[in-house]
Amino acid sequence: MQRLSKLVAAAGSASRRKAADLIRAGRVRVDGRVVADPGVLLDPDKSRVELDGRLLRPQPKRYFLLNKPRGPLSAVVDHRGRTTILDLLGDVAERLYPAGRLDADTEGLLLITNDGDLTYRLTHPRYQVEKVYEAEVRGRPTPAVLRRLSRGVMLDDGPSGPARVRLLRPGDETSLIELTVHSGRKRMIRRMLKAVGHPVHRLRRTRVGPLLLGDLQPGRWRPLTQHELTRLSTSIHEGAAPLQGAAHADDKDS
């Protein structure tokens, strides 16, 4: 038996959170009747699930690691015609979406998938998935500033929470800082650094959980390896069944 929200997400129609919203909006039918409770348990082999009249079928799980450059939006579509991260992937048969977001002017690691359950676990605060950023900032942060960042900074929407902080490259005009955080509120890293007097010139995410950006060039992408999928599954849910869907040796990068 599976929750209805998980079944909808598994069909590639939405992330798990979005799937729950679709269900509550009355857009999902089970065996011909509207079901508005995302937590209803169903047998996926016996239940007919439809979204807006379209029969939902589980899709093969796909997982891609993208080095997002500056500019593209972390969105599936943009009604103003701006470039999105899916434009960088080109033609992919499955309906994909980003597992989390990066601001348009932020670079680095972004996981693209149709696995709604994985997306939920990577983005929900309760799972405490680490995200690592490198920030080139104005000026040279003092040890006192680094300690302040590590304890957390009060922002206009509440405290940022603690961070692990390392000064990678000090400089008089600009410095490079590494910050490791769990939460991912809108533009949080930029707001933290501005609050302590060191505005960001460039921001790049280098790690999400066990996934490393490595030497992947900006705008390029690759499928996750089975080893990465296994480590990712273990990191977000001890005892979970291994994720499947890694590329074969003859799969090509973009």
Nearest to 20 by CA among 33, 8, 2, 34: 8
Which residues, including other chains, have CB under 8 Å from residue 33's CB and lie 6 or more apart? none
**DSSP type of residue 78:** -
CA distance 76 to 87: 9
Strand order from edge to edge, sheet including 33-34? 33-34, 28-30, 49-51, 54-55
DSSP per residue over 79-125, as a string? Answer: TT---BHHHHH---SS--EESS---TT-EEEEEEES-HHHHHHHHSG
> Residue 21 catalytic?
no
CA distance 186 to 61: 28
Q: What's the N-to-C CA distance of the chain in angstroms?
A: 38
Catalytic hit among 103, 115, 156, 253: 103
Q: Which residues are catalytic?
A: 103
